Amino acid sequence: MNIINFLFEHYYLSLPLFATIILLIRAHAKKGGKRISCQELIALANSDSILLVDLRPSNDFEKGHITGAINIPFNELENSVYKLKNTEKSIVLVCEMGSQSGNAGEVLNKEGFNDILILQGGIGDWRMGNLPLV
């Protein structure tokens, strides 16, 4: 209760704090590319307009991945960018929970890739939606 009273009494300090928090959240949400849902990914995959890149370690990829995905583990991404250079398709990044994909998107943006999409919630959301893995 004391914190709430402090925030109200010192609103001139509270407002910039809340504004900064909101801006940080928004910046993090847009980091690396546009977020898409599992349903949007399915629609894009059916139109054959994407290259799906799974960023998880190889052993996790082998246990189950989305159909058509290629595996480039995040820690090997900078050395494997050449594998993605000649694609005309949008690149969709998938990791376990959707958090590492933003960092990978930043790496690809620095390499000149502009059309980066990120599966929101990663493979975890894909599994929770009971969607198939191969």
- Which residue ranges make up each domain of the chain? 1-30, 32-128
Average pLDDT in the 102-109 region?
92
pLDDT above 90: percentage of residues in the chain: 60
Residue listed under structure tokens 């975890």: 124
| Residues 118 and 34 sit within 8 Å (Cβ to Cβ) | yes
Q: How confident is the model at residue 117 (pLDDT cuts 50, 70, 90)?
A: very high
pTM: 0.79
Beta bridge partners of 90: 50
30 pLDDT exceeds 70?
no
**In whole numbers, what is the pLDDT of the chain averaged over residues?**
89
Average pLDDT over residues 2-23: 83
Q: Which CATH architecture has domain 32-128?
A: 3-Layer(aba) Sandwich (3.40)
Residue 8's pLDDT is what? 81
Question: Is 28 a residue whose pLDDT tops 70?
Answer: no
Q: Cβ(118)–Cβ(35) under 8 Å? A: yes
